[in-house]
């Protein structure tokens, strides 16, 4: 139920912002708006203020909306009403009305990011877990426990890192923009600052997902290798482990953090039974040796080990909060960066340099809406901001049926001095519908694979 409510609220807000951009610009340009609809299909609510020419609708299917303006292409327009018709407006007015929808989504994203920046959000501290053996981070000299202070592509333009989320953001930008990433870090013991370069300029990334961070070797923040929530009768309980035990060693392997310990436990099953190993435990300052034999469990086509306990403590957190101007500037920068990365990713997909798996549809959006809402209002706001940027950028693509398609028509009109003919526009509209249908089919296919594959 939470997923459904969060999804409907998200769509309602984003569509309303987009259509209100068109509506507001039309009103400022003196164009008569006949209908403002959120959703399609049978109207659930319908109202019209006395003396207002605009009818407002809330319809049963919230996957979109529209603003219907007085336009001679939709029917006859009286001579005295032509100054209020959309198709009789000068080119600059039509351009502004069409552009206002995507701009409204981008402005909404800036506002949402700014609200989160001003109110503060609790995020993991930028302390690195031990990188995967053989990964880019490991080869670059990172060993785990380092705290990231600054990051950037150029030494003279390095920016302060506030949380581990900033680290992931820099990794994503670096991989997509094919640039080496510089990190200024301190050692685990708080020693001297030094610089590490992650050579990501030659990394081929066709899909921005967890596999990217695994390839780099930085899959998450540092978490202590602590045992908790032990199940009665489970492998951990039978071995004598207790809540709060800190694992220092498993067999001959020194344990550094919680993620490493989870991997060791998962890899302890050979498909027949779990492998018993001697664990060195720190229990309230006392060192103990305990024999632990994980149980084998099947996970899809793999056999993995489990001990019947939660492995790893929660990461150290920090509240990140910014002042009015700094918070607004960072919000504008984040919206701009995400817009640019979205365009680059779409361009890479167009030329085959990025996987079509990056396309997401309504099922994935609904899933993320529910998950983000369950984490609190700040995470939900961040989700809304991201989707709002994506919606704004998507509508600027030069595809017929989208706002960008109309902007393409107006560019032709500006260059040639005459509008696109009705016959050409009809053919382009059919082609645009076909392209969008293919994109939506791929997105829904990706959704099904992600959620049920």
Angle between the 91-119 and 377-395 helix axes, to the nearest 10 degrees?
160
pLDDT of residue 7: 83
> Which of 19, 132, 146, 295 is labelled catalytic?
19
Average pLDDT over residues 395-414: 86
Is 72 annotated in the active site?
Answer: no
Task: Give the best-scoring range by mean pLDDT among 69-73, 325-329, 340-344.
Answer: 325-329
Contact 433, 352 (CB under 8 A): no
For CATH 2.30.42.10, list the domain ranges present in the chain: 121-221+316-320, 227-311
**Residue with the larger pLDDT of the pair 140 and 422:** 140
**Residue with the larger pLDDT of the pair 43 and 298:** 43
Strand partners, 182: 152, 197
Contact 65, 39 (CB under 8 A): yes
248 phi, psi to nearest 5 deg: -100, -30
- In this predicted structure, the answer to whether residue 145 has a pLDDT above a threshold of 60 is yes
Average pLDDT over residues 58-66: 84
Angle between the 2-28 and 377-395 helix axes, to the nearest 10 degrees?
50
pLDDT of residue 411: 87
Average pLDDT, rounded, for the chain:
85
pLDDT of residue 271: 57
- In this predicted structure, the answer to whether residue 112 has a pLDDT above a threshold of 90 is yes
Task: Count the alpha carbons within 13 Å of 408 in the hemisphere toward its beta carbon.
Answer: 16
- In this predicted structure, the answer to whether residue 374 has a pLDDT above a threshold of 70 is yes
352 — pLDDT class (breaks 50, 70, 90): low
pLDDT of residue 190: 65
Contact 342, 389 (CB under 8 A): yes
For the domain made up of 121-221+316-320, give the CATH fold: Pdz3 Domain (2.30.42)
pLDDT of residue 334: 87
The span from the CA of 99 to the CA of 403, in Å, is 7
Q: Is 55 exposed, middle or buried (0-12, 13-18, 19+ CB in 10 A)?
A: middle
In this structure, of 219-233, 289-303, 318-332, the range with the lowest mean pLDDT score is 289-303
Average pLDDT over residues 379-390: 90
- In this predicted structure, the answer to whether residue 226 has a pLDDT above a threshold of 80 is yes
Average pLDDT over residues 430-439: 80
The span from the CA of 217 to the CA of 143, in Å, is 10
304 — pLDDT class (breaks 50, 70, 90): confident
37 — pLDDT class (breaks 50, 70, 90): very high
Structurally, what CATH architecture does the domain formed by 227-311 represent?
Roll (2.30)
- In this predicted structure, the answer to whether residue 177 has a pLDDT above a threshold of 90 is no
Average pLDDT over residues 192-200: 86
């Amino acid at each position: 139920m939470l997923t459904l409510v969060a999804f409907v609220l998200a769509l309602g807000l984003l569509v309303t912002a987009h259509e209100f951009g068109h509506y507001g610009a039309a009103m400022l340009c003196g164009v008569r708006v006949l209908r403002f609809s959120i959703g399609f299909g049978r109207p659930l609510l319908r109202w019209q203020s006395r003396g207002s020419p605009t009818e407002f609708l809330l319809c049963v299917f919230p996957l979109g909306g529209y603003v219907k303006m007085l336009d001679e292409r939709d029917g006859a327009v009286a001579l005295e009403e032509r100054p209020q018709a959309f198709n009789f407006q000068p080119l600059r007015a039509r351009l502004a009305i069409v552009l206002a929808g995507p701009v409204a989504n981008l402005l909404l994203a800036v506002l949402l990011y700014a609200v989160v920046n001003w109110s503060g959000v609790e995020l993991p501290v930028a302390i690195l877990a031990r990188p995967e053996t053989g990964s880019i981070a490991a080869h670059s000299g990172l060993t785990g426990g380092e705290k990231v202070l600054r990051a950037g592509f150029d030494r003279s333009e390095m920016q302060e890192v506030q949380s581990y989320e900033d680290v992931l953001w820099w990794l994503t930008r670096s991989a997509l923009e094919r640039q080496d990433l510089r990190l200024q870090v301190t050692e685990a013991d708080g020693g001297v600052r030094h610089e590490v370069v992650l050579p990501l300029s030659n990394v081929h990334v066709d899909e921005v997902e967890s596999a990217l961070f695994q390839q780099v070797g930085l899959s998450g923040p540092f978490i202590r290798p602590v045992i908790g929530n032990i199940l009665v009768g489970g492998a951990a309980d039978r071995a004598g482990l207790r809540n709060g035990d800190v694992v220092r060693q498993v067999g001959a392997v020194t344990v550094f953090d919680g993620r490493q310990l989870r991997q060791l436990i998962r890899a302890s099953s050979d498909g027949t039974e779990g492998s018993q190993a001697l664990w060195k435990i720190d229990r309230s300052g006392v060192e103990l040796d305990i024999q632990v034999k994980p149980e084998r469990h099947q996970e899809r086509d793999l056999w993995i080990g489990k001990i019947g306990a939660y492995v790893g403590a929660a990461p150290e957190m920090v509240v990140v909060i910014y002042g009015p101007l700094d918070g607004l500037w960072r919000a504008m920068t984040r919206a701009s960066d995400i817009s640019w990365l979205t365009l680059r990713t779409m361009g890479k997909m167009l030329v085959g340099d990025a996987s079509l798996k990056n396309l997401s549809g309504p099922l994935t959006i609904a899933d993320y809406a529910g998950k983000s809402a369950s984490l609190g209002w700040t995470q939900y706001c961040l989700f809304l901001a991201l989707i709002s940027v994506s919606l704004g950028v998507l509508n600027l693509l030069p595809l017929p049926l989208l706002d960008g398609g109309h902007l393409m028509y107006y560019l032709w009109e500006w260059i040639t001095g005459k509008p696109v003919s009705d016959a050409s526009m009809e053919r382009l509209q059919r082609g645009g519908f076909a392209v969008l249908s293919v994109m939506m089919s791929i997105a829904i296919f990706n959704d099904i694979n992600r959620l049920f594959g």
